[in-house]
């Protein structure tokens, strides 16, 4: 069956991860919070799912996870540092921009609303993605099969007509379980070759 749509993860494919363990550790260190790292991690684990399915704002998350105690910096300072952790994967972006001239493409990613919209805006993702099927809008997260089925319904394609591109193996496996073609992103060159094998060039 002919491929009609591509679904892209954002963090780890088009950009660096937004607020994963590595990014959190870097910001915690820079703000002198290393002594509280374990407490911050435990608070993050409780709050992050609510953030990523859109039931908590970034300000509310920061209040619970960072500003539960007095700080010598502001929420705006911390938020700016979080945003600064996002950087482009230039090769992945270039490939996606090229493919976006010929293919229907959407995001299918886990992200809180505030950071998601910052990343979409800052890196021009609207230029080549026609829709954003993000956990914060859909109310469900990868690797739940429900998010892949929702993405397919919104794009009006069957699983056999779609490709999911993700850097995390568990998410790739979940997409395959639903019936999508799925590719684990390692590099832009590897992705281009695997997409070509599916007729996506």
Q: What is the CATH number for 53?
A: 1.10.150.240
pLDDT, tens only, 27-63: 999 999 999 999 999 999 999 999 999 999 999 999 9
Average pLDDT of span 62-79: 98
pLDDT, tens only, 102-122: 999 999 999 999 999 999 999
pLDDT at 34: 96
Q: Say if residue 163 is exposed, middle or buried (CB neighbours under 10 Å; 0-12, 13-18, 19+).
A: buried
Number of domains the chain contains: 2
pLDDT, tens only, 88-97: 999 999 999 9
Same domain flag for 117 and 54: no
Same domain flag for 61 and 160: no
64 lies in which domain range?
21-84
**DSSP 8-state code for residue 131:** E
Q: Is the pLDDT assigned to residue 1 strictly greater than 80?
A: no
pLDDT, tens only, 154-179: 999 999 999 999 999 999 999 999 99
151: nearest Cα among 167, 165, 134: 134
């Amino acid at each position: 069956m002919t491929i009609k749509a591509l679904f892209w993860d954002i963090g780890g494919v088009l950009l660096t991860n937004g607020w994963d363990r590595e990014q959190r550790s870097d910001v915690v260190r820079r703000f002198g919070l290393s002594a509280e790292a374990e407490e911050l991690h435990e608070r993050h684990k409780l709050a992050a799912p609510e953030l990523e399915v859109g039931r908590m704002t970034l300000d509310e998350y920061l209040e619970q996870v960072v500003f539960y105690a007095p700080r010598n910096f502001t929420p705006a300072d911390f938020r700016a540092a979080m945003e600064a952790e996002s950087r482009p994967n230039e090769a992945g972006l270039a490939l996606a921009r090229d493919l976006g001239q010929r293919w229907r493409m959407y995001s299918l990613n886990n992200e809180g609303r505030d950071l998601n919209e910052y990343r979409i805006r800052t890196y021009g993702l609207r230029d080549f993605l026609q829709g954003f099927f993000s956990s914060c809008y859909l109310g469900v997260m990868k690797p739940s099969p429900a998010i892949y089925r929702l993405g397919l319904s919104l794009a009006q394609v069957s699983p056999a007509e779609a490709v999911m591109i993700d850097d995390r193996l568990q998410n790739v496996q979940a997409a395959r379980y639903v019936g999508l073609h799925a590719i684990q992103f390692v590099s832009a060159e590897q992705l281009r070759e695997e997409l070509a094998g599916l007729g996506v060039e």
